[in-house]
Structure formats: structure tokens, C-alpha cells
């Protein structure tokens, strides 16, 4: 076999540049090297939509590693078999698919409305903690309905454990080293599991399984039968945090854009005037009518995909475009650069929600949108996330003008580690007259 072709390597000390400014390096790699480039030996980045999609769809060749955040607890005998994983995924999706979310809009809207109503006006406040708290309540309620109050305190601590784990540190410890952060994570996971187990047993023994996501996981399926209790308990810590963690990062970017683009905010407010005064009366038909608001959410997610870099691994030499990727390589899929490719989106750095609408104002698909990933590991909660974020955006603009604090200081710190986020974001709400 002849010499194998490698993707072009970006010259320079990329590791240091990566630590300094990850977004800038991702853009430089795409600009100077093209669709797929090499950052370090054995570390490749796919920068354009077509190749990102290809890697995410070819899950056999480009494998997603096990979730490092909440690995199965030791007592459960390790990672589930593929068949069990597929069944757990299918069971969760029965509760998370668009039709299931649509049926529960009247439960979600009061939570987002409460968050907006409680936003103190006339002062600059750090907005992400209350928003995260509100989304956490909505997410936990969505998963566990009337059992949510029991699990809510544990969910907050799972989130905290995750925050500590993803904090940048000087050393990358091998997975098996029980660092203080990992021990804290395990303790929180055990506490959550202890709180959840009696709920699972009570629902199973009473036969009242519930219509929420947990209820769907407790139902037997014709092909597979019952999911083992441990499989349910192991998968729910990660799902629970997922319901509010990335959505609250996205919410930060959206609120910032309402502050920076008052005309867009006015247009959202006009659309949101059609929502019922009682948020519990909101239905999927109301939500679907918020075309412009949804376009704003999608446009913000395009420009600032919270999960801006997804990781895959190759187990054997694998062809990608005209290249061969060695076995044991890491392939980083970059929705951020894919979304800012002028071949996909005209004037890609411009905030332009209208690009998601056709001339009649109906939803359109102008180009790549990878903020929720794609393929077999695409986001399970995309419909829930879009519902929460669209409602939060509409209700915020209907009630408030949002502004950034005046002065030379930026209103947030950009972070790229563990997700693209507006850390410490400070904003001011003023009641719309």
C-alpha cells in the first residue's frame, strides 16, 4: 500500500494557541487548511458542514466515547450492552420526541414565565443562575412529574459536580484516578440514585408508571421487554443535567442578543403578544405560531452553538474525504466553524434571524444547522430545548426590554471549555410600557 495522505497540519505551536483562544484557532485551521485539518499528531478537526455530518453519521467508524461525566456506578456491572443502550434510548425518546413535548407545552410555559416575572427590574444582575434554576425545575418536572420535588435538590448537586469536573485544570488525570472532583461526582451520583430508586420501585410495584420520561423508561417494549432497574438509574443522572445545563448556556446567548438587537427583540415582543395571558393555557399551536422567535433562537444557536466541538475516536485506519485517519486518532467535529462557512450561510458572522424564514415569514432551511448534532448520537432533547428556549425568549421580550450594563467592562466572560458560554453574564431588565 502506498504512503497514506494525512489532512494538512496547521503550522505552529497549536497546543499553546488552543489553550489561549480555542475559537480563533478553530477558525484559523479552517481558513488555512480547509475542510479537515490536523491540530496535533493524532488530533483532527472537521471544519465544514458536509464532513461534520459525515463523521457524526458514520458512528461505526467515528465512535463516541462513553460519557465521562456520569459513568455507570461500579455496582451496576459497567457499561450497558449495545442492545440495552438502544432500548433505553428508544424508551427515553418516546418521552422526548416532538409530539410528546408538544403535548406538554402547558406545563413548560408556566416555568419559563415565572422566571421572566421574577427577574428584578432596573438593576444589573447575573442572569444565568436564576435562568438555570428555572430550566432545572422545568427539566426535572418534565422527566419525573410529581416526583420532581424529591429529586430537584439532588439535580442541583449533580450540576455542581459536573461544573467542578469540567473546570480547566493543569493536569489531565487518567480516568481511573479518583481525584477530589471525581469523588464528589460519584457521591452526588450515588445520592441521586438513592433518591430515585424508591420512586422507580414504587411506580413499578403500584403499576402507576407515569406519562413522563421516567414512565416511558419503565414500560416494557415488545422487542426487548423491561429495562433493568440499574440501566434506568445509570442513565438518568446525565439526562437530568442535560435538561437544563446546555439550555441555560443557550439562554445566556439568546438574552444577550435580545439586549444587543432591540429591533429583533421588538419583533419577538409583537409576536409574543399573541400568547395567552395565563401561561398554563399555552399550547403547541401557540408555540408553532412563534416563527420569528424560533428563528431568533436558531440564529443564536447557529452563531454560538453551546456544544461547539464534539469528540469522536477512530479504532482503525479510516478514510475521510481524500485522507486516511490513523487508528487511535481523535476527530473533533466543529459545528462552530461549519456554521460560519459562507458557502452554507451568506454573511455568516451576521446575526440575521430572517435567514430562517422564507419570504412569507414561514420557517425555511437555509443551510447547515448542527447545534444539536446529527446521526445516531444527535441530541435527544432538541424538541424540549427548542420549546423551553422559544417560550423563554418570547415571554422575556413581551415583558422586558433587556440591556447590557453601560461602561467599558464586557457583560460576560466567554468560555469555551466544556461548552461555549457567557459566564457571569450581567443584564438589566426594564419593564416594557
Q: Which stretch binds ligand HEM (CB under 6 A): 126-134, 155-163, 322-330, 366-374?
A: 366-374
343 burial class (0-12, 13-18, 19+ CB within 10 angstroms)? exposed
The nearest distance, CB 360 to ligand HEM, in angstroms, is: 27
The nearest distance, CB 150 to ligand HEM, in angstroms, is: 19
**Position closest to ligand HEM via CB:** 381
* Position among 7, 29, 237, 247 found at the interface with ligand HEM (CB under 6 A): 247
- Closest C-alpha among 231, 270, 278, 284 to residue 394: 270
> Which residues lie closer than 8 Å to 107 by C-beta, 6 or more apart?
138, 141, 142, 280
| Cβ atoms of residues 296 and 254 within 8 Å | yes
* Position among 23, 125, 321, 379 found at the interface with ligand HEM (CB under 6 A): 379
The nearest distance, CB 126 to ligand HEM, in angstroms, is: 20
The upper half-sphere exposure of residue 155, i.e. CA atoms within 13 Å in the direction of its Cβ, equals 28
* Position among 377, 403, 405, 426 found at the interface with ligand HEM (CB under 6 A): 377
322 burial class (0-12, 13-18, 19+ CB within 10 angstroms)? exposed
* Position among 246, 293, 318, 393 found at the interface with ligand HEM (CB under 6 A): 246
- Could you say whether residue 372 binds ligand HEM (CB under 6 A)? yes
Give the x/- contact pattern for ligand HEM in 54-73, rule: CB under 6 A: --x-------x---------
The nearest distance, CB 206 to ligand HEM, in angstroms, is: 25
Q: Where are the alpha helices (DSSP H) in 261-304?
A: 262-272, 284-289, 291-303
| Cβ atoms of residues 60 and 179 within 8 Å | no
CA distance 98 to 388: 12
What DSSP state is assigned to residue 76? Answer: G
The nearest distance, CB 131 to ligand HEM, in angstroms, is: 12
> Which residues lie closer than 8 Å to 46 by C-beta, 6 or more apart?
35, 36, 52, 54, 55, 320, 331, 332, 333, 334, 338
Interacting residues with ligand HEM between 300 and 329 (CB under 6 A):
306-307, 310
Q: Which stretch binds ligand HEM (CB under 6 A): 3-11, 109-117, 237-245, 358-366?
A: 237-245
- Could you say whether residue 93 binds ligand HEM (CB under 6 A)? no
- Residue 308 or 401: the one with the smaller Cβ distance to ligand HEM is 308
- Could you say whether residue 51 binds ligand HEM (CB under 6 A)? no
Grid cell in block for residue 301: 444557536
Positions touching ligand HEM (CB under 6 A) are 56, 64, 96, 239, 242-243, 246-247, 250, 306-307, 310, 371-373, 377-381, 384-385
Amino acid at each position: 500500500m502506498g504512503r497514506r495522505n494525512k489532512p494538512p497540519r496547521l503550522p505552529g505551536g497549536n497546543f499553546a494557541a488552543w489553550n489561549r483562544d480555542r475559537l480563533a484557532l478553530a477558525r484559523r485551521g479552517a481558513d488555512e487548511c480547509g475542510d479537515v485539518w490536523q491540530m496535533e499528531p493524532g488530533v483532527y478537526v472537521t471544519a465544514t458542514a458536509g464532513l461534520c455530518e459525515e463523521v457524526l453519521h458514520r458512528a461505526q467508524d467515528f465512535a463516541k466515547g462513553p460519557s465521562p461525566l456520569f459513568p455507570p456506578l461500579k455496582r451496576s456491572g459497567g457499561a450497558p450492552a449495545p442492545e440495552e443502550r438502544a432500548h433505553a434510548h428508544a424508551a427515553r425518546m418516546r418521552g422526548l420526541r416532538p409530539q410528546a413535548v408538544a403535548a406538554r407545552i402547558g406545563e413548560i410555559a408556566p416555568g419559563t414565565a415565572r422566571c421572566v416575572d421574577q427577574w428584578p427590574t432596573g438593576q444589573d444582575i447575573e442572569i444565568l443562575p436564576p435562568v438555570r434554576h428555572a430550566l432545572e425545575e422545568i427539566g426535572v418536572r418534565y422527566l419525573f412529574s410529581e416526583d420532581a420535588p424529591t429529586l430537584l435538590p439532588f439535580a442541583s448537586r449533580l450540576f455542581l459536580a459536573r461544573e467542578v469536573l469540567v473546570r480547566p485544570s493543569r493536569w489531565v488525570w487518567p480516568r481511573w484516578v479518583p481525584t477530589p472532583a471525581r469523588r464528589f461526582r460519584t457521591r452526588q451520583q450515588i445520592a441521586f440514585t438513592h433518591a430515585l430508586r424508591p420512586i422507580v420501585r414504587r411506580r413499578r410495584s403500584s403499576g402507576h408508571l407515569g406519562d413522563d420520561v421516567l414512565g416511558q423508561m419503565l414500560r416494557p417494549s415488545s422487542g426487548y421487554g423491561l429495562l433493568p432497574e440499574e440501566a434506568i438509574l445509570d442513565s438518568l443522572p446525565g439526562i437530568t443535567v442535560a435538561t437544563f445545563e446546555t439550555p441555560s448556556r443557550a439562554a445566556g446567548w439568546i438574552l444577550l442578543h435580545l439586549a444587543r438587537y432591540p429591533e429583533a427583540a421588538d419583533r419577538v415582543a409583537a409576536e409574543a403578544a399573541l400568547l395567552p395571558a395565563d401561561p398554563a393555557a399555552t399550547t403547541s399551536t401557540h408555540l408553532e405560531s412563534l416563527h420569528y422567535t424560533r428563528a431568533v433562537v436558531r440564529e443564536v444557536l447557529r452563531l454560538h452553538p453551546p456544544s461547539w466541538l464534539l469528540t469522536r475516536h477512530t479504532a482503525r485506519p479510516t478514510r475521510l474525504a481524500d485522507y486516511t485517519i490513523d487508528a487511535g486518532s481523535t476527530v473533533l467535529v466543529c459545528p462552530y466553524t461549519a456554521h460560519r462557512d459562507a458557502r452554507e450561510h451568506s454573511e455568516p458572522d451576521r446575526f440575521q434571524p430572517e435567514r430562517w424564514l422564507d419570504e412569507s415569514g414561514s420557517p425555511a432551511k437555509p443551510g447547515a444547522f448542527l447545534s444539536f448534532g446529527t446521526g445516531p448520537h444527535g441530541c435527544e432533547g432538541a424538541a424540549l430545548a427548542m420549546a423551553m428556549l422559544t417560550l423563554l425568549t418570547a415571554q422575556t421580550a413581551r415583558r422586558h426590554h433587556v440591556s447590557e450594563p453601560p461602561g467599558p467592562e464586557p457583560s460576560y466572560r466567554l468560555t469555551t471549555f466544556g461548552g461555549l458560554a457567557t459566564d457571569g453574564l450581567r443584564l438589566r431588565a426594564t419593564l416594557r410600557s
